[in-house]
Amino acid sequence: MNKDELVSVLVPVYNVEEYLGKCLDSIIGQTYSNLEIILVDASTDSGAAMCDEYAVKDSRIKVIHKDAEGLADARNTGLDNATGEYIFFVDSDDWLNPDTIEYLYTLLTEHNADMATASKVILELNGKENRVYWDNGRKGEEAVTVRTSDEDKQIRTTATAWGRLCKKELYDGIRYPYKKNHEDEFVTYKLYHRAKSIVVSNKIIYNQNSRADSLMNTGFSESRFHVVEALDEKTLYFDEFMPDIAYWPRAQRCFALAAIARKMKKSSIEDKKQRIRDIKRTVKREVRPLIRQKKLALSVRTYFRIYRISPFWANLMLLVLKR
């Protein structure tokens, strides 16, 4: 292994003083030590001082303090200041296994790939650990696959910005959209399209905190429609460059709209009944051609069929499947 190659570890930091120490300790303790650790901090809690304290203790750490302008802006600031050959994002409330970066670097270089990622553990709000394997088609924690086709890269690999080691050149000319939630949905598919191959492993290498105030666990806000905007852009991109699998972002859009309607139902916005009706009408119309798309999983097509008849029963089906 050539440990002379520099890996830029980019950490957006914002008001996570409770978790930050564990995150940073897990990074500076990596078995792959040739790291450039860039902390992009916009904290108003003690996290800002913690970043500076860690920079004093470890010369590999560079701290950039700036005003809070969203996660996308923090990611872009990290990218603009990174000098390594590889990029690795870590969210500041998560933590790594000791060999995370070494393991991904080994996968990437041994398979001559442009990107490597592996599986994660989610620490749920109830304290339980939920193991999420990226490659459910192959059992065993050490199962490794190399994905080269657009279908495998785009449909069978998740969109998260964190937890993947990428060649820095993949980001040339690509940045995250300013002040948009779901910023990774705007970008990751472009990285996959550029990557000639992606290595995916079932080994657990990343630990994710599920927080009550996270985007996934909070209620409805208008910014939830950012993911629909991202998927609209993604659909246009697929139509142009990957038309054979352009059904995929369309299916994702239907799922996203249905999820927004569920969140909206629990909100107190004045016009929610009409807006929910409009969303359901849109989903029922847009799933019609997808029901006949045999490349979609049977469970997805079944959900869409049920949704056209009754969104209530379709959502109940989702709850049962998640259990």
Residue 215: pLDDT band with limits 50, 70, 90: low
Beta partners for residue 147, in sequence order:
198
- Region 19-46 average pLDDT: 97
Q: How do strand 115-123 and strand 164-167 relate by DSSP bridges?
A: antiparallel
> How many Å apart are CA 236 and CA 243, to the nearest integer?
9
- Mean pLDDT, the chain, rounded, equals 91
pLDDT of residue 210: 77
pLDDT of residue 140: 60
Q: How do strand 61-65 and strand 35-41 relate by DSSP bridges?
A: parallel
Residue 116, both tokens: 């490597």
All domains of the chain, ordered by start, with CATH?
A: 7-209 (3.90.550.10), 222-322 (no CATH)
Predicted confidence (pLDDT) at residue 296 exceeds the cutoff of 80:
yes
- Region 268-280 average pLDDT: 92
Answer for the pair 318, 307: CB distance below 8 angstroms, yes or no: no
Predicted confidence (pLDDT) at residue 126 exceeds the cutoff of 90:
no
- Region 177-194 average pLDDT: 95
The pLDDT tens digits for 45-64 are: 999 999 999 999 999 999 99
Q: Which residue has the higher pLDDT, 71 or 140?
A: 71
Q: What is 103-166 written as a DSSP string?
A: HHHHHHHHTT-SEEEEEEEEE-TTS-EEEE-S-TTS-STT-EEEE-SHHHHHHSS---SBSEEE
pLDDT of residue 216: 56
